[in-house]
């Protein structure tokens, strides 16, 4: 039986670094339907940036390709799939290790998957050499009653 979602959006764009900001904003605008806090939205945007940047730098390297994003809303949760048809990841477990990088010459930290995991509630990586990679992340947005008065004060006094 196919899972039922309340809303869904699909986006495809060329693997140019200038499209990374576009991807962040598009996903954030879609996630806004769940009425997230500024912090929750920042977490989502950061995780999307990391996944898209990985596709551009590692998946396609010096070639251009298409990056696809599918976002689904289910109750108070956003599920984000970011996929490419790039070269794939040889060793997913090694790639998930903090500071691991296949591009030490670039000024990158090797923290992309670590950041995605820490900012989202779940993260899964599927990859096949020569066919590409798909990262699926999800985050539950707290119900309004769960949000603290401190958060409200922070928003009001900004």
| Structural domain of 138 | 7-156
CATH of the domain at 85: 3.30.565.10
Residues annotated as part of the active site: 50, 54, 108
Asked, for residue 109, whether it belongs to a domain, the answer is: yes
Asked, for residue 1, whether it belongs to a domain, the answer is: no
Run of H or E including 20:
helix 19-31
Contacts for 94-100: CB closer than 8 Å, 24+ residues apart: 95/125, 96/125
Tokens describing residue 56: 């551009």
Run of H or E including 54:
helix 38-54
Tokens describing residue 14: 């060329």
Asked, for residue 114, whether it belongs to a domain, the answer is: yes
Return per-residue pLDDT of the chain as tens, 158 residues.
567 889 999 999 999 999 999 999 999 999 999 999 999 999 999 999 999 999 999 999 889 999 999 999 999 999 999 999 999 998 888 888 877 676 766 656 677 888 999 999 999 999 999 999 999 999 999 876 655 556 656 666 65
Number of folded domains that form the chain: 1
Asked, for residue 87, whether it belongs to a domain, the answer is: yes
Asked, for residue 2, whether it belongs to a domain, the answer is: no
Cα 14 to Cα 5: distance, rounded to the nearest angstrom: 27
């Amino acid at each position: 039986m196919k899972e039922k979602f309340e809303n869904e959006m699909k986006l495809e764009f060329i693997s140019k670094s200038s499209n990374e900001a576009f991807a962040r904003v598009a996903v954030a605008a879609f996630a806004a339907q769940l009425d997230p806090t500024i912090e929750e939205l920042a977490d989502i945007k950061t995780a999307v940036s990391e996944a898209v940047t990985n596709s551009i730098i590692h998946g396609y390297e010096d070639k251009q390709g298409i990056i696809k994003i599918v976002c689904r809303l289910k109750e108070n949760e956003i599920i984000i799939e970011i996929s490419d048809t790039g070269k794939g990841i040889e060793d997913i477990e090694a790639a998930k290790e903090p500071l691991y990088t296949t591009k030490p010459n670039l000024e990158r930290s090797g923290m992309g998957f670590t950041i995605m995991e820490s900012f989202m509630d779940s993260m899964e990586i599927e990859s096949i050499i020569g066919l590409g990679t798909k990262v699926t992340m999800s985050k539950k947005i707290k119900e309004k009653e769960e949000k603290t008065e401190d958060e409200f004060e922070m928003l009001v006094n900004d």
